[in-house]
Amino acid sequence: MADGVTEIYEFISSTPNYTELICDPEESSSNPITSWYFQGTVYVMYSIIFVVAMFGNGIICYIVISSPRMRSVTNYFIMNLAIGDILITIFCVPFTSVSYLQQYWSFGGFLCPVVNYSQAVSVFVSAYTMVAISVDRYTAIIWPLRPRLSKKLAAVIIVIVWVIAAVTGIPIPVFSKLGQPTEWHQMCDRYICHEDWSEVGLEYEKLYTLALMVLQYIIPLTVLLFTYASIAIVICCHRIPGEAENSRDQRIAKSKRKMIKMMVTVVFVFTLCWLPFNILWVTAESIGDDIKPYLWFASHWLAMSHACYNPIIYCYMNSRFRTGFLQTLSTIPCCRKCIPSLTMLRPRSSTGFPLTSYEGTENTLLHRNNTSTTYISMRRKTTRSSSYNHIPVRSVSLMRTTNISPQNHHLVKRVRRSSNYVVEDEI
């Protein structure tokens, strides 16, 4: 698999004067990988990825699991993305960095196929979950009157993502084994963990590597570009029925800009992080041996750092996740003094979704219906209950429409979905 430790040795083992047949690579003076400065840089850079990715993605999972209000379809996809990134951090970062610097596999024969397979599955889960999120947003905005995904169907989609990722990586543990590809490994009794396709033919290895590149990078990037470009066109070019030039339009326009910024960021970061690594594998044979180790480290580190950016993209741009993040930090004694009070964590904008509420505070809500331009905001204490035509109202505004009767309340719900693409809190 081109995302893990299997192919590292194709870059470092072809370097001239490979460790000068000194069994301890740190004693070699000609191998640039063994310099203390370079090794220190590698350890620090990968450690940053490990800490940031584990902390950020762990916070996402905690927020979704601990808060019932955050258990939405979109947030389930985001949590699954966080789980995939956590697995990338666990299986790709430490095993790859250590094997890269030691120049051999020191974790035993059992972990060789296990780690290689886990690396492949985690990378595919992350990529396919991003596709699922973009398709979910695409269907919600392009066809707003269609029923939204249920939580059960979202769970089925998540299972399908894991099954496809697991099936795609099956050849990796089958062909992963320990080997001694160079004279240095044989003289020093050192082994590497690699994929040995010699029994079936090296041409199949090349085809499988190309297929992995298409499935992990090209297809997800194509889907992201298509779905988010279509969403951007709808948001920018379609004027909402009943819009007037007032302060509400300014809030809607601001929400549009935020969503477009989020979509552009998702595509840009995914492209930037994984493109150099995939280009390196395509052009590996034409690259000089003296710079291959450095190019491999730079491109692999950039690809692995993608696990750090997803929490920022999907959570920093979402006010509810920001609030949950600050609430979580406020429980840590050393961070409590630096976190604003709970009353300051409430989102200030009224964008059609319930604002985060706390005991003793008030909520101000504003819902928009495409068939009417009349809106009634309702302020209430969190402990107060009210109803509208015998329909319980919980953190919702009363809507007065001109062509939808109270008996067709289910239609009101569906029409309200059509405004989701201008809501900041709905990714």
The answer to whether residues 392 and 275 belong to one domain is no
- Mean pLDDT over residues 133-154, rounded? 88
pLDDT score recorded for residue 359:
34
**Residue 79 domain-assigned?**
yes
**What DSSP assignment string belongs to 206-236?**
HHHHHHHHIIIIIHHHHHHHHHHHHHHHHHH
Contact 213, 281 (CB under 8 A): yes
Select from 263, 287, 317 the last residue of a domain: 317
Run of H or E residues at 158: helix 151-168
**Residue 327 domain-assigned?**
no
Task: Determine the Cα–Cα distance for residues 44 and 50; give it in Å rounded to an integer.
Answer: 10
| DSSP designation for 289 | T
- Mean pLDDT over residues 245-251, rounded? 68
Which single residue is written with the structure tokens 């993209």? 313
Most confident of 126-140, 387-401, 402-416: 126-140
Task: Determine the Cα–Cα distance for residues 377 and 398; give it in Å rounded to an integer.
Answer: 7
The answer to whether residues 267 and 406 belong to one domain is no
Most confident of 43-47, 70-74, 182-186: 43-47
The answer to whether residues 389 and 310 belong to one domain is no
The answer to whether residues 277 and 368 belong to one domain is no
Run of H or E residues at 294: helix 292-304
| DSSP designation for 355 | P
pLDDT score recorded for residue 365:
31
The answer to whether residues 166 and 227 belong to one domain is yes
Poorest-pLDDT segment among 217-226, 267-276, 310-319, 330-339:
330-339
pLDDT score recorded for residue 154:
93
The answer to whether residues 198 and 310 belong to one domain is yes
The answer to whether residues 142 and 56 belong to one domain is yes
Poorest-pLDDT segment among 76-85, 107-116, 335-344:
335-344
The answer to whether residues 159 and 94 belong to one domain is yes
Contact 426, 347 (CB under 8 A): no
Q: Which residue has the higher pLDDT, 141 or 386?
A: 141
- Mean pLDDT over residues 182-188, rounded? 83
- Mean pLDDT over residues 235-241, rounded? 67
Note the pTM of the prediction, 2 decimals.
0.75
Q: Which residues span the domain enclosing 215?
A: 8-317
Number of domains the chain contains: 2
The alpha carbon of residue 222 and the mean position of all alpha carbons in its chain are separated, in whole angstroms, by 16
**Residue 85 domain-assigned?**
yes
Contact 19, 33 (CB under 8 A): no
Select from 317, 344, 365 the last residue of a domain: 317
CATH number at residue 210: 1.20.1070.10
User: Beta partners for 195?
Assistant: 176
The answer to whether residues 265 and 393 belong to one domain is no
Evaluate if residue 373 carries a pLDDT over 80: no
Select from 317, 341, 366 the last residue of a domain: 317
**Residue 363 domain-assigned?**
yes
Query: Is the four-CA dihedral 336, 339, 341, 347 of positive or negative sign?
Result: negative
The answer to whether residues 154 and 286 belong to one domain is yes
Most confident of 316-330, 359-373, 413-427: 316-330
Evaluate if residue 259 carries a pLDDT over 50: yes
The answer to whether residues 280 and 404 belong to one domain is no
**Residue 336 domain-assigned?**
no
In Å, what is the CA distance from 274 to each residue of 209, 219, 301?
A: 15, 13, 10
The answer to whether residues 127 and 186 belong to one domain is yes
pLDDT band at 174 (very low <50, low <70, confident <90, very high): very high
**Residue 427 domain-assigned?**
no
Note the pLDDT tens digit of each residue in 312-364: 887 777 777 878 777 777 777 666 666 655 445 454 443 433 333 333 333 33
- Mean pLDDT over residues 249-259, rounded? 74
**Residue 334 domain-assigned?**
no
